[in-house]
Structure 1
């Protein structure tokens, strides 16, 4: 029998090569199939995606940790069992993806999302929650999350969610995604046209295209022959006009609207 030890976790009876057993509704389990991972995607065995896991439920945290440890493309760098410990880990630990519950007992996962986006704006956030509520999901996305998984769902693949978000995608439990679509379909389709003040200028579009290509503010400034402060001013204007809070949200929103 193999035993894996990582930080505060000890996992017995599994290995990093073994497919994960994921709990689903009705006490059943689902075994994720092995997959071929192209070498051009982020998350290779020799350079795995670093994950920080924050959840105050020891059982759920153990199950998620087992799945992450079983995938060579992912490195579970640390865990936290509550809000205060999570804040400390976020401040001290280097990571690429935060997996976080919203109800942490001693605090809110929403606050941790805000902290991550302030300290580590390039890090991705995936919510893991027992609450299948559109308002909670939308608020998490507004704060910068790119994934929302419901615990004990038939579709709960935490490793896949991590790999999806670091490669530019999003991960939402299908049932919740459908509910969000229905919510959007209920909105009036004849929203008033945006005023000229809300439209992106040619320079703002140019900056946003370079943001989408992965350039930093300093690199954009050099290429456009403007100061980094001017670049950041354009980025702030883009945020305001698109009503977003992060670069990833700005790129996603502009792409959906055909602005870039």
Structure 2
């Protein structure tokens, strides 16, 4: 059964879960959003898997319990969203985020974590994550997060989002004197334009013919000059002021 909105677009009725889901969004029963789940806690994986499998807009293509296994699964499967814990027994989820974004540029990443660690959050976003959820969060569930990011949105635990916004407010309130925000070099502008286009640091280095270390140095300089903490803030600030 389908309903029509005022523009004439179809909205599909869902029995599981009961909802109205537009047919033009990613995540349909006949073509669900594909998820790869990586967490080293079997119980957490089981609970999350059950939650994902209960939504017919999502398919769980596979699971992994370690960085090593996650690398193999990333190479084996096509998927749309990587749900990944940062603290894995044999390494960190950061390695898998970088690998996923490098090998599958269109993939979205949602971090699942037991703690609200601001430096970890910012680093995950710098690497290309578009979501960060606490495992015990009451607001929002994992299927909702998957559907948000795969359709161009972002998903972050509300309490953590509030803390980050408060941190930005404090930073802005504490700024005094002139800020050297517009004196980006030509190469820094090139790097920032590619960051805004969604390229990873490795891809930027390859396209510009410079090393990964040089790219990261340019990114750090951009952060310093614009007085921002991550790529999203840098792109937002530069775009608003016509720097790129």
| TM-score, normalised relative to structure 1 | 0.68
Q: State whether structure 2 residue 32 is matched by structure 1 residue 48.
A: yes
What's the offset of the Cα at 1:197?
A: 3.0
Q: Relative to structure 1, is the Cα distance of residues 202 and 85 closer, same or farther in structure 2, using a 3 angstrom cutoff? A: closer
Q: 1:254: how far off?
A: 3.3
In the other structure, the counterpart of 2:11 is none
Unaligned segments of structure 2, at least 5 residues: 1-13, 199-203, 210-214, 224-229
CA distance in 2, matches of 1:84, 1:192: 44
Q: 1:61 aligns with which of 40, 45, 69?
A: 45
* Other structure's SS at 2:180 match: coil
CA RMSD of aligned residues (A): 3.5
Note if 1:193 corresponds to 2:180.
yes
Aligned equivalent of 1:176, options 160, 174, 197 = 160
Give the alignment's TM-score, normalised by structure 2: 0.72
* Shift of residue 207, structure 1, vs aligned partner: 8.2
CA contact (8 A) 1:17 1:70 kept: no
- Check whether the contact 1:17–1:72 (CA below 8 A) recurs between aligned residues: no
How far, CA to CA, are the matches of 2:237 and 2:25 in structure 1? 23
| 3-state DSSP of counterpart to 1:154 | coil
Matches within 5 A, 1:44-193: 44-187=28-171, 188-190=174-176, 192-193=179-180
* CA 1:104–1:17: 2 relative to 1, 3 Å: farther
Q: 1:205 to 1:118 in 2, by over 3 A?
A: closer
Alpha-carbon distance in 1 for matches of 2:22, 2:77:
28
Q: How many residues align?
A: 209
Q: Distance in 1 between matches of 2:190 and 2:231?
A: 15
Q: CA deviation at 1:147?
A: 0.4
The answer as to whether partners of 2:188 and 2:222 remain within 8 angstroms in 1 is no
Q: Report the Cα distance in structure 2 between the residues aligned to 1:151 and 1:252, rounded to whole angstroms.
A: 26
Q: Aligned partners of 2:231, 2:208: CA distance in 1, in Å?
A: 14
